[in-house]
Amino acid sequence: MNRCSRQEPHIAVDFRLDVALVHHPVVNRIGEIIGSAVTNLDLHDIARAGRTFGVRNYWVVTPYPLQQELAESIVRHWTDGYGGRVNSDRAEALSLIKISPSLEEVLAAMTQQDGCRPKIVATSASRQEKRTTYNELRQEIIEQKQAVLLLLGTAWGLASEVMDMADAVLPPIEGLGSFNHLSVRSAASIILDRLLGCRESADQL
């Protein structure tokens, strides 16, 4: 699982991990199904982490046309527009982003690209059934080149109908005691480090 290579500045992504940030259907504080708003820094932070660790596509999933337009205009500013001209790293990161109206369309696009349906892996701040482990999924992605779609929820998390779509669920990120109130940006970054982070030597972890 050694794939660290600071000597090679722009090696090709050789595995197939896509990330989807879901804005609908998610739940609110009291468990009702809602649609959440696209957040500028969710686009930036998860794209930057995605590009750092080698995510293939970062899907921003929202069914609302105005929210899709907003997300597209942010991405365009940082890829084709002024932002991208002054910050090429940011352009490279945000070029991972693809806007999609639904998870069904994401799955259809991935199935067409890979010739097979990806393994769908959900994340949750609470313990769920159908558990996988970080090490198991890391091996599937890096060694077996399994196509994987990792689902991240906004607001108070993925709706149960999305959890039902998942083939497996990663365990929650645990720290001290039961307090678990990470932002989706933090959770995404930690999960990508656990799945794809460099472990060249004991130095690294």
Residue with tokens 């596509």: 57
Q: How many CB atoms lie within 10 A of CB 46?
A: 25
Q: How many CB atoms lie within 10 A of CB 113?
A: 14
Q: Please give the residue ranges that form the binding site for a second copy (CB under 8 A).
A: 3-11, 13, 41, 44-45, 48-49, 51-54, 89-90, 92-93, 131, 133-135, 171, 173-183, 185-190, 192-194, 196-198, 200, 202-205
| Under 8 Å between Cβ of 147 and 16 | yes
Between 66 and 202, whose beta carbon lies closer to a second copy?
202
Q: What is the largest CA-CA distance in the chain?
A: 49
Q: In angstroms, what is the minimal distance from the CB of 101 to a second copy?
A: 27
Q: In angstroms, what is the minimal distance from the CB of 26 to a second copy?
A: 17
Q: In angstroms, what is the minimal distance from the CB of 66 to a second copy?
A: 23
Q: In angstroms, what is the minimal distance from the CB of 134 to a second copy?
A: 5
| Under 8 Å between Cβ of 2 and 201 | no
Distance CA 72, CA 98 (A): 8
Between 120 and 195, whose beta carbon lies closer to a second copy?
195
Residue with tokens 């500013």: 77
Between 10 and 112, whose beta carbon lies closer to a second copy?
10
Q: In angstroms, what is the minimal distance from the CB of 108 to a second copy?
A: 27
| Under 8 Å between Cβ of 23 and 61 | yes
Distance CA 4, CA 9 (A): 11
